[in-house]
C-alpha cells in the first residue's frame, strides 16, 4: 500500500474511488459539496433517498457519475461534525478501504474533510496510514495458497491524501505513518506466528535480518554465554524446554557516535510459549500463550520503525527469549536461584516467569548506561483484570519519564494508564529463604507486585515498565496480535530525538 499527498480538486481528480464525508448534522463536507455541484446533485439525491444520512459507520458507493472523473464515489458517514474523534476517524477509513471495491487500485481522500477533534492535520495523515494498513493486514503466511485465495484482498492500493496546496509536512506525516505501520506489522506478524515456528532462535534470526536490512548491530548470546553472565534467573525458566534460549541485543546507533552514548533501552519479554511450567496453566485458551513474546515483538517492531525514520538517537533493544515448559528438568516451585544482580529468588510459582527473565535483562542492559530503560511485557493476568484491553499498564517511580510516556501514548493513540508502584507493596515479596519471592504473598494487586519485583533490579535508573498483557493481542474470534505498543514507543523515541 502506497500513500502520497496530491494537490487536486475533488471534482477533477482521476482515481478509481474518491471518498468524501457526509455529516449527520451538517450534511455534506466541503469536498462533498463540490462533487455534488459537479455531478448536479448526485450526493443530494443519495441523501434525499435516505440511503446516506451521515450516520457514523455508514457507507455508500456510487458509480459511473457524470461530471466527475472518479470511477466510484464513496460517501462516508462521519456522524456529528462536532465529534469526529480518533476512533470514528479510523473506523471511517477502515470502512472506506474495505468497502471501496476489490477493483480499486487508486483511492483518494479529501484531507480537508477529515478534521479530527483535538488532532492536527499531520496526526490525521498518520492515522490514515495506520487505519488503512490495519484493514488490509492478514497473517496468512501459514495458510495454503488455495485457502488464502478465498479472501478477497483486492489490488494493491495507492492512497492519495488530497490537499489544497502542496504540503510537505503532510507528506512527511504519511512517511512516518508508513514507518510506524511497518513496525506494527512486524510485531503483529511475529506475535501471530505459532510457538513451533516462532522459537527463541527464530526471534534471533529476525533480529539478524533487521540488522542486515537496517545496518544495526546485533549480538545473540547462547546458553553458554548466558550462563557465563550468571543469569541464573533467566536460565531457570528455560530449563524445562528443548528449545535453546537466546539473549538478543540489537543496537541502533542513530546518534552516530562510536561510544553509543546514553541509548534508550527497550527490554522485551520474549517467552515464545508460556505453559506455566510445573505450575501448569489450565488448558482453556492456552494457545494464546504464544503471544507471550509480544513485548519482544514490540521491541523489534519499534527498532524497525526508528531505523526507517532515521532518528538521530541511540537505541538498544534487549530480548531474553525462551519457552516456559514443564519437564523432568524444569524448575520446581520452591527452587531458589541467583539472578545476575546477585540477589536470590525463591520461585514459588513457575508461571510468574516473565519477571524472572526480565530481571536479568534489566541488570544486563545497565552496562550501556541508558538514558532511560523501558521494559515491555505481557506480564500479568492481573493487569488485564485491572485495565482490560484498553490501556497498557504504566509503572514508574520517575515522574518525568512517566509523564513523557503518557503523553507519547496520547499522541500515538496507543493509550497507557499509570499504575501505582509504592514501597507499601514490596513487603508482599518477602521470602523466608531467599532475598525475595517471585510472587506476592497476598495474591492481590498482582500487576503491581510484579512491577515491584522488577523495580528491585533497577536501583537509581530512569526506568518504566509497560504491562501489555491486555493490549498486545486479542482473543476470541478476532484473535491476533495488535502491534501495540509500537506506536507509543516509536512516538516516545521520536519526541526524544526531536
Ligand atoms: N504470561 C502470563 C501473563 C498473562 C496472563 C498474559 C494472561 C496475558 C494473559 C504470565 O507469565 C503469568 O502467567 N502471570 C501469572 C502470574 C502469577 C502466577 C503471579 C498470572 O498473571 O496469572
Ligand atoms: Mn506465566
Ligand atoms: Zn508469561
The C-alpha atoms of residue 359 and residue 292 are separated, in whole angstroms, by 16
Q: Is the peptide bond before 485 cis (omega within 30 degrees of 0)?
A: yes
- Joined together, the cell numbers standing for residue 114 give 477529515
Is pLDDT of 164 > 70?
Answer: yes
Q: Ligand 1, from 380, 382, 439, 472: best to mutate by most atoms within 8 Å of Cβ? A: 380
Is pLDDT of 152 > 60?
Answer: no
The C-alpha atoms of residue 116 and residue 296 are separated, in whole angstroms, by 32
Neighbours of ion ligand 3 (CB under 5 A): 271, 274, 292, 354
310 secondary structure, DSSP code? T
pLDDT bracket for residue 122 (50, 70, 90): very high
pLDDT for 146: 79
**Sequence-separated (6 or more) residues with CB below 8 Å from residue 113:** 20, 21, 29, 30, 31, 32, 78
The C-alpha atoms of residue 108 and residue 347 are separated, in whole angstroms, by 57
Among 383, 325, 328, 324, residue whose Cα is nearest residue 354: 324
Is pLDDT of 153 > 70?
Answer: no
Is pLDDT of 151 > 70?
Answer: no
Residues within 6 Å of ligand 1 by CB? 274, 292, 349, 351-354, 378-382, 384, 439, 446, 469
Q: Ligand nearest 438 Cα, by number? A: 1
pLDDT for 190: 99
- Joined together, the cell numbers standing for residue 444 give 492481590
List pLDDT tens digits, range 221-238: 999 999 999 999 999 999
Q: Is 462 a catalytic residue?
A: no
3-state secondary structure of 162: strand
If you measure from the C-alpha of residue 387 to the centroid of ligand 1, how many angstroms do you get, rounded to a whole number? 14
Protein residue with its CA nearest to atom 8 in ligand 1: 469
- Which of 355, 456, 462, 484 is flagged as catalytic? 355
The C-alpha atoms of residue 262 and residue 283 are separated, in whole angstroms, by 44
Q: Is 66 a catalytic residue?
A: no
Question: Regarding predicted confidence, which is higher, 17 or 112?
Answer: 17
List pLDDT tens digits, range 267-277: 999 999 999 99
Neighbours of ion ligand 2 (CB under 5 A): 274, 351, 353
pLDDT for 402: 98
To the question of pTM greater than 0.75 for the whole model, the response is yes
Q: Using the atom order of ligand 1, give the atom closest to the CA of residue 354.
A: 11
- Joined together, the cell numbers standing for residue 37 give 455541484
Protein residue with its CA nearest to atom 13 in ligand 1: 351
% of residues, the chain, pLDDT over 90? 95
**How many alpha carbons lie under 13 Å from residue 321 in its C-beta half-sphere?**
33
If you measure from the C-alpha of residue 389 to the centroid of ligand 1, how many angstroms do you get, rounded to a whole number? 15
Q: Ligand 1, from 381, 469, 474: best to mutate by most atoms within 8 Å of Cβ? A: 381
If you measure from the C-alpha of residue 292 to the centroid of ligand 3, how many angstroms do you get, rounded to a whole number? 5
Q: Whole-number mean pLDDT of the chain?
A: 97
If you measure from the C-alpha of residue 186 to the centroid of ligand 3, how many angstroms do you get, rounded to a whole number? 21
3-state secondary structure of 60: strand
pLDDT bracket for residue 148 (50, 70, 90): confident
Among 35, 95, 44, residue whose Cα is nearest residue 65: 35
The C-alpha atoms of residue 461 and residue 13 are separated, in whole angstroms, by 55
Average pLDDT on 366-382 reads 98
- Out of 154-158, 293-297, 412-416, least confident range: 154-158
If you measure from the C-alpha of residue 351 to the centroid of ligand 3, how many angstroms do you get, rounded to a whole number? 7
Backbone φ and ψ for 412, nearest 5 degrees, come out as: -85, -10
DSSP 107-165: EEEEGGG---TT--HHHHHHHHHHHHHHHH----TTS-HHHHHTS---SPPEEEEEESS
Is pLDDT of 149 > 70?
Answer: no
Among 461, 444, 453, residue whose Cα is nearest residue 233: 453
- Which of 6, 175, 281, 410 is flagged as catalytic? 281
The C-alpha atoms of residue 371 and residue 11 are separated, in whole angstroms, by 52
Average pLDDT on 281-289 reads 98
Q: Using the atom order of ligand 1, give the atom closest to the CA of residue 324.
A: 11
Are the C-beta atoms of residues 248 and 356 closer than 8 Å to each other?
no
Are the C-beta atoms of residues 62 and 72 closer than 8 Å to each other?
yes
Protein residue with its CA nearest to atom 22 in ligand 1: 381
Position of cell 461530471? 67
pLDDT for 257: 79
pLDDT for 150: 59
3-state secondary structure of 5: strand
Helix (H) or strand (E) holding 308: helix 294-309
If you measure from the C-alpha of residue 383 to the centroid of ligand 1, how many angstroms do you get, rounded to a whole number? 9
Amino acid at each position: 500500500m502506497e500513500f502520497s499527498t496530491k494537490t487536486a480538486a475533488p471534482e477533477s481528480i482521476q482515481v478509481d474511488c474518491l471518498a468524501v464525508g457526509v455529516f449527520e448534522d451538517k450534511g455534506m463536507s466541503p469536498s462533498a459539496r463540490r462533487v455534488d455541484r459537479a455531478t448536479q446533485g448526485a450526493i443530494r439525491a443519495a441523501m434525499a433517498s435516505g440511503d446516506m444520512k451521515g450516520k457514523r459507520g455508514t457507507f455508500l458507493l456510487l458509480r459511473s457519475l457524470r461530471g466527475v472523473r472518479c470511477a466510484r464515489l464513496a460517501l462516508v458517514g462521519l456522524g456529528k461534525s462536532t465529534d469526529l474523534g480518533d476512533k470514528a476517524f479510523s473506523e471511517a477509513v477502515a470502512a472506506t478501504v474495505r468497502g471501496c471495491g476489490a477493483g480499486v487500485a487508486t483511492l483518494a481522500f479529501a484531507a480537508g474533510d477529515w478534521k479530527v477533534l483535538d488532532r492536527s492535520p499531520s496526526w490525521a495523515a498518520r492515522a490514515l496510514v495506520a487505519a488503512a494498513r490495519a484493514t488490509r493486514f492478514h497473517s496468512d503466511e501459514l495458510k495454503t495458497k488455495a485457502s488464502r485465495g478465498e479472501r478477497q484482498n483486492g489490488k494493491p492500493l495507492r492512497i492519495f491524501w488530497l490537499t489544497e496546496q502542496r504540503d510537505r509536512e503532510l507528506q512527511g506525516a504519511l512517511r512516518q505513518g508508513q514507518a510506524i505501520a511497518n513496525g506494527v506489522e512486524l510485531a503483529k506478524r511475529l506475535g501471530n506466528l505459532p510457538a513451533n515456528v516462532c522459537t527463541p532462535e527464530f526471534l534471533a534470526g529476525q533480529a539478524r535480518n533487521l540488522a542486515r536490512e537496517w545496518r544495526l548491530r546485533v549480538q545473540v548470546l547462547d546458553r553458554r554465554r548466558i550462563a557465563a553472565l550468571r543469569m541464573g534467573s533467566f536460565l531457570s525458566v528455560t530449563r524445562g524446554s528443548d528449545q535453546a534460549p537466546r539473549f538478543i541485543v540489537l543496537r541502533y546507533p542513530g546518534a552516530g557516535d562510536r561510544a553509543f552514548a546514553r541509548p534508550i533501552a527497550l527490554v522485551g519479554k520474549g517467552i515464545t510459549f508460556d505453559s506455566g511450567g510445573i505450575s501448569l496453566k489450565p488448558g482453556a485458551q492456552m494457545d494464546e500463550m504464544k503471544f507471550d513474546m509480544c513485548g519482544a515483538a514490540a521491541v523489534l517492531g519499534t527498532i524497525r520503525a526508528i531505523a526507517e525514520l532515521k532518528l538521530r538517537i541511540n537505541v538498544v533493544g534487549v530480548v531474553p527469549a525462551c519457552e516456559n515448559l514443564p519437564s523432568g528438568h524444569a524448575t520446581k516451585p520452591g527452587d531458589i536461584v541467583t539472578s545476575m544482580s546477585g540477589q536470590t529468588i525463591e520461585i514459588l510459582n513457575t508461571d510468574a516467569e516473565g519477571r524472572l527473565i526480565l530481571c536479568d535483562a534489566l541488570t544486563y542492559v545497565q552496562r550501556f548506561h541508558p538514558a532511560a530503560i523501558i521494559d515491555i511485557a505481557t506480564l500479568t493476568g492481573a493487569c488485564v483484570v485491572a485495565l482490560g484491553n484498553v490501556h497498557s499498564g504504566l509503572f514508574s517511580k520517575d515522574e518525568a519519564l512517566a509523564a513523557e510516556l503518557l503523553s507519547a501514548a496520547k499522541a500515538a493513540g496507543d493509550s497507557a494508564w499509570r499504575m501505582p508502584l509504592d514501597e507499601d507493596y514490596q513487603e508482599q515479596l518477602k521470602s523466608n529463604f531467599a532475598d525475595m519471592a517471585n510472587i506476592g504473598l497476598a495474591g492481590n494487586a498482582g500487576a503491581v507486585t510484579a512491577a515491584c519485583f522488577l523495580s528491585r533490579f533497577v536501583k537509581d535508573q530512569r526506568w518504566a515498565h509497560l504491562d501489555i498483557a491486555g493490549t498486545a493481542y486479542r482473543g476470541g474470534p478476532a484473535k491476533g496480535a495488535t502491534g501495540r505498543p509500537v506506536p507509543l514507543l516509536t512516538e516516545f523515541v521520536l519526541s526524544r530525538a526531536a
